[in-house]
Amino acid sequence: MIVENKGQQQSVRFIVDTDRCCGCRRCIRRCMENVWQWDEEHHHAYPKYPDECVLCLQCEMDCLNNVIDIYPIATLQIDPLEFSAGHLTEADIVRRD
């Protein structure tokens, strides 16, 4: 299962090998942002709220079978407060994908 989140602050790709998931739910318990949920029908965890991910990677590190891989695709290179306050223009923004 591949889930991509193209958010305002960051873009993240979650790759979950659902066939190897042992059902320990450590990723769900470890995540302080409640990104992960359990799929009762298919018996594996999945990132239900990927927008909430802060890239701490605790779920990936605690996974017993190493079935979770998280890759940042792109991160915002500016301070959103400076942009919204008008201190930066569109020309100042360089997006690295």
pLDDT along the chain (97 residues), means of 10: 64 88 93 93 90 89 92 67 60 52
Question: What does the pLDDT read at residue 51?
Answer: 82
Question: What does the pLDDT read at residue 96?
Answer: 46
- pTM of the complete model beyond 0.85: no
Question: What does the pLDDT read at residue 90?
Answer: 58
Full set of structural domains in the chain with CATH:
2-92 (3.30.70.20)
Question: What does the pLDDT read at residue 88?
Answer: 56
Report how far residue 14's alpha carbon sits from residue 74's, in angstroms, rounded to the nearest whole number.
Answer: 13
Report how far residue 63's alpha carbon sits from residue 7's, in angstroms, rounded to the nearest whole number.
Answer: 25
